[in-house]
Amino acid sequence: DTGVSQNPRHKITKRGQNVTFRCDPISEHNRLYWYRQTLGQGPEFLTYFQNEAQLEKSRLLSDRFSAERPKGSFSTLEIQRTEQGDSAMYLCASSLGRYNSPLHFGNGTRLTVT
Amino acid sequence: AQTVTQSQPEMSVQEAETVTLSCTYDTSESDYYLFWYKQPPSRQMILVIRQEAYKQQNATENRFSVNFQKAAKSFSLKISDSQLGDAAMYFCAYIRRDAGNMLTFGGGTRLMVKP
């Protein structure tokens, strides 16, 4: 079990630039989630996939955000025209397809928008 | 909407002592799960313990146990024989049965362990 892998670990970008993060889930997990965590707060749900299908998106996910999971394997989260308010830790997690299955989290990607 | 509240932003405990972290939640559902996750500094979040709402027996995992009071919508975490490695942010989380694994997290409690 290699765990959930996220790249990059840190990203510093200027306001207005686009950024893309990658998440590689645990191989046998069919569900993949993106959460956002600001300093000192709990994670907030952004979106999740069951295999390649994006089944739910939070209202936090504005039209500048897009997530994909081609072929139900790795996932990417892209933020277009970044704003300072996008600065946060972006967490990816994966799980088996049962509602009570625990989420396995990656180390996160910390985004700083200057 | 479900909400999860952790009223203690910070707690400290002496090594080898016992500490209890509080969590309350608001829901109209009867079938749900509750979780405690631990997030050490600069490390990934990991599951500590989970509780099924329909089970009256409190969950236990080694030094970690919960006090689940369904009527009061309370879900506290007790850590016995605290160790330095227990120092971390602890998050309480809730999920209802048909929520597609959309966990709702509390704001977290930072636990400090004093040697």
Mind telling me how many Å the CA of B53 is from chain A's nearest CA? Answer: 11
Of B46, B101, B107, the CB nearest to A42: B107
pLDDT greater than 70 at residue A105? yes
Read off the pLDDT of residues A11-55 as tens digits, 9 standing for 90 and up: 999 999 999 999 999 998 999 999 999 988 899 999 999 999 998
> Could you give phi then psi for residue A71, rounded to 5 degrees?
60, 15
Give the count of beta carbons closer than 10 Å to the beta carbon of residue B71.
5
Beta-carbon contacts of residue B20 (< 8 Å; ≥ 6 apart): B67, B76, B77, B78, B79
pLDDT of residue A79: 97
What is residue B1's predicted lDDT score, i.e. its pLDDT? 64
Per-residue pLDDT at A83: 96
For residue A56, pLDDT beyond 80: yes
- pLDDT confidence of residue A2: 75
| Interface residues from chain A to B (CB-CB < 8 Å) | 3-4, 31, 33, 40-45, 48, 50, 55-56, 91, 93, 95, 99-103, 105-108
Phi-psi region of A60 (alpha: psi -120 to 50; beta: other; left: phi over 0): alpha
The H or E element that residue B109 is part of is strand B109-114
User: Is the pLDDT at A75 greater than 60, yes or no?
Assistant: yes
Taking an 8 Å cut-off on Cβ atoms, the answer to whether B95 and A99 are in contact is yes
Contacts of B49 (CB under 8 A, 6+ apart): B35, B36, B59, B60, B61, B64, B65, B66, B77
Predicted confidence pLDDT, tens digits, chain B (115 residues):
679 999 999 999 999 999 999 999 999 888 899 999 999 987 889 999 999 998 888 999 999 999 999 999 999 999 999 999 999 999 999 988 776 668 899 999 999 999 9
SS3 string, chain A, reads CCCCEEECCEEEECCCCCEEEEEECCCCCCEEEEEEECCCCCCEEEEEEECCEEEEECCCCCCCEEEECHHHCCEEEEECCCCHHHCEEEEEEEECCCCCCCCEECCCEEEEEC
Q: Inter-chain contact A107–B43, Cβ cutoff 8 Å?
A: yes
Mutation target for B interface from A26, A99, A104, A110: give the one with most B CBs within 10 A. Answer: A99
Q: List CB contacts (< 8 A) between B46 and chain A.
A: 105
Residue A46 identity (one-letter amino acid): L
pLDDT of residue B100: 63
Contact A33 B101 (CB under 8 A): yes
B4–A3: do the CB atoms touch at under 8 Å? no
pLDDT of A1 higher than 60:
no
Contact A76, A90 (CB under 8 A): no
| Beta carbons of B44 and A55 less than 8 Å apart | no
Q: State how far the Cα of B8 lies from the Cα of A39, in Å rounded to an integer.
A: 16
Burial of B104 (0-12, 13-18, 19+ CB in 10 A): buried
